[in-house]
Amino acid sequence: MINLELPKKLRATANQAHQAAAQIFRPISRKYDLAEHERPVELDTMASLVEGMTDGGGDMAGASGGRGDKKKDTGVRNGGNMASLVNVIETCWGDVGLTLSLPYQGLGNAAVAAVASDEQLERFGKVWAAMAITEPQFGSDSAAVATTAKEDGDDYILNGEKIFVTAGERCDHVVVWASLDKSAGRAAIKSFLVPRDTPGFDLVRLEHKLGIRSSDTAHFILDNVRVPKANLLGTPEIDTKKSFAGAMATFDNTRPLVAGMAIGVARASLEKLREILTEAGVEIDYDAPAWNQTAAASEYIRLEADWEAAYLLTLKAAWMADNKQPNNKGASECKAKAGRMATELTLRAVELAGSFGYSERSLLEKWARDSKILDIFEGTQQIQQLVVARRELNLSSSQLK
């Protein structure tokens, strides 16, 4: 039998994250939505909280990458992936953009944890890392990376261009995807941890966006950026049989986290919508059939059921990662489901709330704007469905495009 109740340890860290979301994120959510690109200085006060949660085995937004407790090699495990998931759900209930702005909890940290060696984890465990994959000529096709890394003595020289780098201005390091040998195709794509102050690593601009405005989104040019060989994450070996599975393993950790972000903001909208409907006298009866209730009540129950399905899929994907079970398909399933659910649910909440939902008197319209990116980054809805189809049909990327 599957027990879906969170263990005591995870409930405790999730409660800490919820308190931070309620007391720090929610009160400043609108402020930094309106003041795009202004640094949320209030997050500096959370440094000690994040540090304490990390030391206690939990992570606010995914820095652990699921390495977990090495002492426990048998039995069911709830490790770093599950801890990160339940916490990111709570912080994104507060604010998605502010969650993405948390120091030392960037998606690049999850990338480091997914592919770095134990020695690299020891050296890079305390950095704040953003992740730079997307380039002007491609979005979801990660195999199309054009940024190059040429060997030069004890270093690599990186040249290229990266766009849509979340937390790119505020972080201290960036995980950059680059190719060691373009003729070798996907297998030569590796990730490099690049300090932000490296000469030639130039910030071009910060993007103005529909949502998550409190999070900076950067555009970089890499002009002969010199990086030590020791900063290549994982192995430099080009194995054509494995393609770039090592680099892509990053997404098996980060996609459930993005799904968790969608679950968090969608739950915020559900709770607010329930409050509005209750105040309007709408009764929601779970024992009555949908056709025997008001349209608003019936629609609310449908949205809540959709949320629950996404939540359970995401818990499963994180649990599989912690228990060393292949979760590539599960990670894409939960990302696709949660991303689609959040965009629909938050927009429907705006519609059902009427003029109040469309105005800035509540955060409903902001949550609808914030949720859209969660169906796009870390792989679009269409890419997730393609990955799931390949796994179901046992076809390669060249066989099913």
Please state, in angstroms and rounded to a whole number, the distance separating the CA atoms of residues 44 and 48: 9
Please state, in angstroms and rounded to a whole number, the distance separating the CA atoms of residues 37 and 214: 6
Weakest-pLDDT range from 1-10, 69-78, 84-93: 69-78
Query: Beta strands 173-179 and 189-195: pairing type?
Result: antiparallel
Q: Is 150 helix (H, G, I), strand (E, B) or coil?
A: strand
Weakest-pLDDT range from 74-83, 114-123, 239-248, 284-293: 239-248
Residues 6+ apart with CB under 8 A from 351: 357
Query: Beta strands 155-166 and 217-228: pairing type?
Result: antiparallel
| pLDDT tens per residue across span 131-188 | 999 999 987 777 789 999 999 999 999 999 999 999 999 999 999 999 999 888 888 9
What is the CB-side half-sphere exposure of residue 390 using CA atoms within 13 A? 16
Q: Which secondary structure element, helix H or strand E, spans residue 357, and what is its range?
A: helix 355-358
Please state, in angstroms and rounded to a whole number, the distance separating the CA atoms of residues 235 and 231: 10
Q: Which residues are catalytic?
A: 378
Contact yes or no for 113/173 (Cβ under 8 A): no
Residue type, 360: E
Contact yes or no for 241/259 (Cβ under 8 A): no
Please state, in angstroms and rounded to a whole number, the distance separating the CA atoms of residues 307 and 339: 10
Q: Which secondary structure element, helix H or strand E, spans residue 176, and what is its range?
A: strand 173-179
Q: Is the pLDDT of residue 51 over 70?
A: no
What domains are defined for the chain? 8-124 (1.10.540.10), 129-231 (2.40.110.10), 245-393 (1.20.140.10)
Please state, in angstroms and rounded to a whole number, the distance separating the CA atoms of residues 162 and 345: 32
Q: Is 85 helix (H, G, I), strand (E, B) or coil?
A: helix
Q: Is the pLDDT of residue 231 over 70?
A: yes
Residue type, 241: K
Residue 69 pLDDT level (bands cut at 50, 70, 90): very low
Q: What is the DSSP letter of 327?
A: -
Q: Is 50 helix (H, G, I), strand (E, B) or coil?
A: helix
Q: Is the pLDDT of residue 89 over 60?
A: yes
Mean pLDDT of 208-231: 97
Contact yes or no for 96/213 (Cβ under 8 A): no
